[in-house]
């Protein structure tokens, strides 16, 4: 290692000289070389399960990279793939020696093919399509070969564009027919007119998409290449370019520093889609939905034109540190232009935080606390910011004050977050004791425990999970299950039983400001295990009570990811289950499962899940208008049976918590959002079954109160 480090500056000089001759900038080359050097060292020191970097490794990285570059096989032809395949067993050597011949060759090739695709894409869109021909399109990329010639590739593009136009055309025709039945004054457009409108709509979409691809720079492509290599180790070891890491932190913390506007890109313009209530934009008052942002200036500096700039790059200039000013030149709906100055601030995204309701079963008048947690959020950069464990404690105290008989803790679609907060939240429902075991690649497992005496809630508890409850959600659910503290209700969870840690590369590299920011690497450093010694990796948490969901027959989760780490187990740690009074826990589970089996909603949900599985497996679609219409009619007839599934109002009254009354903003957007949440609650059959389980726990005297 010493010898290799000693030779590194000389080796880098040679690479800079070589690739500069091939048209690559010295700054990009230098950054990429340092990235690979840092990654190699990081993997060696940090990764839970390093694997040999050999030809087998190279094959996997090559296949992954090719998929990332051209997943739908719309840019490369077979001769391109053959040329790239010359490096199929070379990536391991290039990676170890920090060489980039393959990467830069692939970069030049994909850029050339995207520009070619742009040309024939718009050539094809320049004239009407024939929807009388009997032909079809295959959407499963694994079922089609690479196009042998560019003519064949162009025909593939023709079919893709034709399908997208066909879907829009069919919608336009259907809407026009419905409108004509309701009114005699509707202007009837011809098939040709509607086809042209649909074609123009598709053209705008592809203009934005191809423009986005053409603007991809080395920072974007090197991330694809590096992640193709890192994903061979496991699916969660990843490189995050600076902007991606910032977005990850925003999702984890629920906060960002900026103006508080949701933006999208349409027809080359960055357009305002929504204004976050309470944000700097909302307070300033002049920025409005549908405004087009033309230029961005940092305070009094010269404004920068962002028309046709990629959305993610434009956002970099719009976001900024708290207290700084950004001036937006916007075009209003009426065509007028205006400069809007906004002082950036911390924007709180309320939808990412814990929230609760009081639910009443109108059949029994039972009052139950409902707490929904979107993620185990935390802001590691701000110790005073909101975090999930503190918010959960507050929510528990608020629902307790309402005189509830039990709590339903909803972790559906919660993909995880802070492990420490997960342990602390588990401690709110149990007395002192272990919650999870964490084992690195060496040494004995570390047991993470709740060390605070007593529980904030020691009454009936039901935890809701589904296919997308992952990581920290699974740790919590598993701990409650092992302690026999709660009934877990829903579907088998995602199956992510690994722990990751971020490494900020700018902190590792001293100096070299010309190649910074470098971004971050996320390493899989350990596995976590249940306190009973089992792992949730691949297997997930199997609920005590199974409730059918729309995804019941669709394969999801960690088990479907390439290179996922295997399931293993270790010795259990010492813990005591909670005492549950005089009843048998199985009695509660049996009563719930019997109700679900007799419930017409869940019976139909099971049938609907099978229908969705069949629909997903259907990957060939006709491109003849009449055949396509007939297929959609069949789909609509199948769907008709399930159109009202889950829409019936149940015997639930959902009420805002007394302590929260008067604190919720009364703007139109928030009111509408809360109405939708309330409606979702009172029509949620799985949630209603959870309410019945809480009542069974109480009725059968199964309070999970630990004996002294």
Q: Are 463 and 491 in contact (CB under 8 A)?
A: no
And the tokens for 104? 């830069």
How high is the pLDDT of residue 633? 93
- Mean pLDDT, to the nearest integer, of 261-289? 80
Q: Are 702 and 580 in contact (CB under 8 A)?
A: yes
pLDDT range class, residue 34, cuts 50, 70, 90: confident
Q: Are 476 and 531 in contact (CB under 8 A)?
A: no
The number of beta carbons lying within 10 Å of the beta carbon of residue 174 is 13
Rounded Cα gap, residues 162 and 209, in angstroms? 17
- Element of type H or E holding 615: helix 600-617
- The dihedral region occupied by 493, where left means phi > 0, alpha psi between -120 and 50, and beta the remainder, is beta
Choose among 60, 653, 91, 73: nearest CA to 364.
653
Rounded Cα gap, residues 209 and 164, in angstroms? 14
- Tell me phi and psi for residue 321, to 5 degrees: -65, 150
Q: Is it the case that residue 438 has pLDDT exceeding 60?
A: yes
pLDDT range class, residue 53, cuts 50, 70, 90: very high
Of 128-137, 266-275, 354-363, the least confident: 266-275
Rounded Cα gap, residues 428 and 376, in angstroms? 14
How high is the pLDDT of residue 341? 92
- Mean pLDDT, to the nearest integer, of 337-359? 86
> Mean pLDDT: which of 241-245, 256-260, 282-286 is highest?
282-286
- Mean pLDDT, to the nearest integer, of 76-87? 97
Checking DSSP bridges between strand 407-410 and strand 366-372, what pairing results, if any?
parallel
Rounded Cα gap, residues 283 and 305, in angstroms? 25
Rounded Cα gap, residues 313 and 570, in angstroms? 46
Residues near 52 by beta carbon (within 8 Å), at least 6 away in sequence: none
pLDDT range class, residue 546, cuts 50, 70, 90: very high
And the tokens for 216? 């991809």
pLDDT in tens, 613-630: 999 899 999 999 999 999
How high is the pLDDT of residue 512? 79
How high is the pLDDT of residue 254? 60
How high is the pLDDT of residue 429? 96
Q: Is it the case that residue 708 has pLDDT exceeding 50?
A: no
% of the chain residues with pLDDT over 90: 61
Q: Are 270 and 305 in contact (CB under 8 A)?
A: no
pLDDT range class, residue 468, cuts 50, 70, 90: very high
- Tell me phi and psi for residue 458, to 5 degrees: -120, 15
311-318 helix and 242-253 helix, angle to the nearest 10 degrees: 70
Q: Is it the case that residue 335 has pLDDT exceeding 80?
A: no
Q: Are 556 and 518 in contact (CB under 8 A)?
A: no
pLDDT range class, residue 61, cuts 50, 70, 90: very high
DSSP for 557-589, please give it.
SGGGSTTPPPP---PPPP--PPP-TTS-HHHHH
Domains present along the chain, CATH in parentheses: 30-233 (no CATH), 255-348 (2.30.42.10), 350-495+531-610+647-699 (3.90.226.10)
How high is the pLDDT of residue 580? 65
How high is the pLDDT of residue 703? 67
Cα 301 to chain centroid distance, Å, stands at: 36
How high is the pLDDT of residue 269? 82
How high is the pLDDT of residue 3? 39
Mapped to the 3 state alphabet, what secondary structure does 322-334 carry? Answer: CCCEEEEEEECCC
Determine the 3-state secondary structure of 65 from DSSP. helix
**Pairwise pLDDT comparison (144 vs 346), residue with the higher score:** 144
% of the chain residues with pLDDT over 70: 92
pLDDT range class, residue 493, cuts 50, 70, 90: very high
How high is the pLDDT of residue 262? 78
How high is the pLDDT of residue 253? 59
DSSP for 488-512, please give it.
EEES------EEEEEEEHHHHS-S-
How high is the pLDDT of residue 28? 82
pLDDT in tens, 497-506: 999 998 888 8
CA angle 641, 645, 647 (to 5 degrees): 135
Checking DSSP bridges between strand 136-138 and strand 238-240, what pairing results, if any?
unpaired
The mean pLDDT value of the chain amounts to 89
- Asked, as a colleague might, if the bond just before 517 is cis with ω within 30 of 0, I would say yes
How high is the pLDDT of residue 260? 80
């Amino acid at each position: 290692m010493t010898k290799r480090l000693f030779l590194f500056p000389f080796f880098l000089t040679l690479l800079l000289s070589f690739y500069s001759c091939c048209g690559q900038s010295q700054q990009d080359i230098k950054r990429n070389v340092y990235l690979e050097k840092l990654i190699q060292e990081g993997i060696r020191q940090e990764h839970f399960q390093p694997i040999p970097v050999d030809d087998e490794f190279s094959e996997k990285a090559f296949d992954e990279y090719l998929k990332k570059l051209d997943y739908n096989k719309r840019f490369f032809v077979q001769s391109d793939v053959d040329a790239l395949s010359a490096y199929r067993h070379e990536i391991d050597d290039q990676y170890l020696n920090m060489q980039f011949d393959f990467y830069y060759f692939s970069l030049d090739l994909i850029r050339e093919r995207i520009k070619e695709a742009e040309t024939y894409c718009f050539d094809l869109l320049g004239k009407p399509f024939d929807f009388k021909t009997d032909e079809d399109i295959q959407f499963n990329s694994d079922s089609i070969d690479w196009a042998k010639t560019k003519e064949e590739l162009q025909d593939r593009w023709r079919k893709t564009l034709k399908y997208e136009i066909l879907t829009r055309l069919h919608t336009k025709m259907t809407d026009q027919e419905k409108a004509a039945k309701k009114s005699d004054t509707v202007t009837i457009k011809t098939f040709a007119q509607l086809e042209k409108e649909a074609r123009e709509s598709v053209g705008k979409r592809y203009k934005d998409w191809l423009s986005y691809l053409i603007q991809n720079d080395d920072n974007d492509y090197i991330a694809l290449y590096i992640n193709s290599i890192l994903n061979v180790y496991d699916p969660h070891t990843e490189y995050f370019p600076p902007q991606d890491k910032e977005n990850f932190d925003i999702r984890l913390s629920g906060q960002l520093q900026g103006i508080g506007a949701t933006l999208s890109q349409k027809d080359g313009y960055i357009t305002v889609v929504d204004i976050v209530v309470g944000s700097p934009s909302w307070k300033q008052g002049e920025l409005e939905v549908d405004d087009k942002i033309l230029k961005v200036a940092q305070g009094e500096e010269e404004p920068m034109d962002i028309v046709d700039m990629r959305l993610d790059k434009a956002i970099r200039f719009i976001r900024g540190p708290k207290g700084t000013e950004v001036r937006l030149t916007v075009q209003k709906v009426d065509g007028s232009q205006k400069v809007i100055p906004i002082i950036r601030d911390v924007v709180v995204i309320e939808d990412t935080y814990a929230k609760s309701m009081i639910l009443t079963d109108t059949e029994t008048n039972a009052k139950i606390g409902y707490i929904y947690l979107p993620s185990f959020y935390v802001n590691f950069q701000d110790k005073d910011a909101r975090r999930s464990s503190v918010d959960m404690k507050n929510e528990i105290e608020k629902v307790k004050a309402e005189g509830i008989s039990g709590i339903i803790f909803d972790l559906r679609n919660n993909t995880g977050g802070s492990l420490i907060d997960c342990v602390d939240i588990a401690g709110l429902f149990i007395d002192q004791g272990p919650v999870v075991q964490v084992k690195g690649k060496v040494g004995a497992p570390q047991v993470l425990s709740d060390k605070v005496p007593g529980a904030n809630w020691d009454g009936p508890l039901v935890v809701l999970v589904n296919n997308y409850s992952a990581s920290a959600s699974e740790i919590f659910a598993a701990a409650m299950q092992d302690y026999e503290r709660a009934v877990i209700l829903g579907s088998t969870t995602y199956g992510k039983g690994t722990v990751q840690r971020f490494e900020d590369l700018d902190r590792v590299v001293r100096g070299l400001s010309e190649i910074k920011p470098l971004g971050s690497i996320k390493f899989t450093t350990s596995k976590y295990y249940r306190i009973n010694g089992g792992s949730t990796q691949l297997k997930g948490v199997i609920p005590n009570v199974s409730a059918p969901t729309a995804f019941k027959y669709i394969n999801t989760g960690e088990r479907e990811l390439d290179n996922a780490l295997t399931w293993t187990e270790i010795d259990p740690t010492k813990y005591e289950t909670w005492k549950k009074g005089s009843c048998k826990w199985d009695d509660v589970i049996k009563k719930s499962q019997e109700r679900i089996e007799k419930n017409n909603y869940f019976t139909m949900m099971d049938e609907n899940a099978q229908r969705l599985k069949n629909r997903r497996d259907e990957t060939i679609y006709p491109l003849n208008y009449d055949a396509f219409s007939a297929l959609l009619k069949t789909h609509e007839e199948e769907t008709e049976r399930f159109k009202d599934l889950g829409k019936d109002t149940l015997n639930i009254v959902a009420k805002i918590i007394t302590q929260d009354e008067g604190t919720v903003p009364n703007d139109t957007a928030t009111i509408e959002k809360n109405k939708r949440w309330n409606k979702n609650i009172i029509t949620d059959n799985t949630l209603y079954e959870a309410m019945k389980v809480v009542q069974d726990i109480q009725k059968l005297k199964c309070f999970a109160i630990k004996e002294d």
